[in-house]
Amino acid sequence: MQVSSAAKAPIDGKGRRIAIVVARFNPEITERLAEGARRTLLAAGVAPDAITVLSVPGAFELPLACRWAIESGRFDAMVALGAVIRGETDHYDYVCGEASRGIADTQLATGVPIGFGLLTCDTPEQALARAGGSAGDGSAGNKGEDAAHAALAMLALRDALDGSTRR
């Protein structure tokens, strides 16, 4: 199997315009995810003024906000971030499933990459660990960083498939 050169190349975010769409619910977690995404985008060369943070009430609203941002024509990719923590009712299952489906449907309908950073955890401690750890030092990873990296990687893949000179 041959691996394309785009898969091996470092991801270059120069000239890219990215929206970080972040749910306000569970802010102690989602703010860390958003900061991780922002750090990753800046490290890849995305200009600070080319990163827009859009805030929505909760995870259920992520797909629609991404769709509106895409339709504005102002962004090359999205990073969708949220945290849904299991409770005592079925609400968790509905929100997780529908938010995930909505993000996937939006991506497929528009062709615009959306980095998926929706945490679906059983406990606040699990969510915090995936948002940079209890100390916020990133030792346990940050899924906001991963989602931003995925959005940039998909832009690079599209460029490679299109034969674009951007890389």
Q: Which residues are catalytic?
A: 91
Helices (H) and strands (E) in the chain, counts: 6, 4
Residue 104, token pair as written in the block? 């996937």
For residue 161, CA distances in Å to 113, 119, 138, 149 come to 14, 30, 33, 18
Rounded Cα gap, residues 113 and 77, in angstroms? 5
Residue 158 burial (10 A CB sphere; 0-12, 13-18, 19+): middle
